[in-house]
Structure 1
Amino acid sequence: MLSILIVNWNTCEYLRRCLRSIAEHPPSVPLQVVVVDNASKDGSAEMVRSEFPWVELEASDKNLGYAAGNNIAFVMARGEWQLTLNADTEFFDDSLQAAVDFMEGRKGAGVLAGKLLDPNQQTVQPSMRRFPTPGAILPEMFGLAKIFPKKFGDYRQLDFDYSREGEAEQPMGSFLLFRKSALNDIGLMDERFPIFFNDVDILFRLKGAGWSIWYSPEVQLIHHGGRSTKQIPKTMIWESHRSLIRYYWKWYQTWWSTPLLVLFSGIVWLGALVRARGWNAGYRP
């Protein structure tokens, strides 16, 4: 069984198109679709109830965040294959079955990412990253990656070939097909990363547990991009920076690195202040 898990916040029309595309291009394996609605104000939950009664809906009375919403969906999921899918995506071919077939053929694969396309179905969206190690992220923070992309642009994997399948490090979380046994090994999303870096963290843990991370161009879908986070840009800028700080304190803290992490945190906070043009509290449930 394939379980598709969608966390939604105020993207009613995009969610409608996403669910309709799943219904029009279902996999041949049994299918379960779970929608966790984070207290949307745009009628999303009511739309799912009335138009897609076959969807299992969990309507929260508050915004739990992306990680907590997905964890609710993971608990509800019954499939061996569990797909975390953004609400602002659409399918137009048999990519859901292609994704399951791909994973069934690679026993050591813990997760699969697909090719994200603009609505024109032609333009490929850059969606691959390296893990945000200090060597990868510091040139990004200081602008060196933009000035000298060939030398310092490794974090964004500008040379990634989206026409070929292969192992990857950190695909964007818009479409991530997990093997249930891999999730059983490492646990669910860390809710200390409510909006951002929860996908980075879970992929990093998968890699550390010996599971491989794959990309396949045969799995493709339209991605409209950031339809929830763009509604509150200043809040999301601050939340992304705070989540980067949390990620570093989680994975890089030692007795000798603490002073460096304090300095790093200050630099990231300053970057958020500049990019957001002011202070913001970030995500609050």
Structure 2
Amino acid sequence: KLLSLVDVCLIRAGHYRVLADPGNGAASEVLPELLKQAGCQVIKYNCEMDKPPGREPEPRAKSLQTTAKMTVKHDCDLGLGLDMDADRVLFIDETGAVLSEDLVGAILGKAEIKKPKDILVTPFNSSGIFKAVIEKAGGKVAECRVGPPEITAMIKKTKAVFGYEESGKYFFAREFIWADGLLASLKMLEVMAKIEKSLSEIRQSYPKYYQVKLAFDCPWEKMPRRWVGKGEKLIVEDSWLFIRASGTEPLIRIFSDSPSQKRAEELAQKGKKMVEELCIG
């Protein structure tokens, strides 16, 4: 089924060498097999379901450093790091760079735009790179609250073609409205094959955005209502500051995003000051 959703012939023509790291999780057998059927030469890493994950179960740039080194060591075109149930995936290029989830969202989302004003969904705290790339490509961005249920609801409401969140979950809504790391892996290979560029070349062709993420303890009784639920977003030209209370623990999270690293840091400090005044002062 998944192979029918991409141009397999195009992927096979690329003769890609892929490192598959499903973290000894649910995709330990299916991911390598799927890649082989797509014509890829597969290097298996952490593909034994009867063993512990072999790394942190959550795929993040920090937890995939060994996976990135293995990708380079085995001269792979692409490295894949999935979580235990394979609904999340991070991508590693041939130089060992782990691509940010927001950049991947922009790359995969752009490829899903088939006609002007196709709608793509993402939470309020996603990087500005997504909106910049999608709108330049002729798409339209619909923002929603943080979390997969909210993304799914907005996809249904707007009849969107794609959605993502910065945890590495990508929703290809023309096919189904849940995140699938296996399909996302195939879609990235398809993008590489279509434009005939390496993943590092694709990465370097996109604008650079910087994010700062902070978290502060805040007792429930002092939690400002304005930051509960949807949270508060302050947009300053091409940059933004987003403050939101955690839904599960007494924490307030601060996100800032900008094409300028200095501006991102300044906005984060502004958010920190706001939190300290209301929760600590």
Greater fraction of residues in helix: 1
Do the structures match in fold with TM over 0.5? no
* Greater RCO, CA 8 A, separation 6+: 1
TM-score (norm 1): 0.34
TM-score (norm 2): 0.35
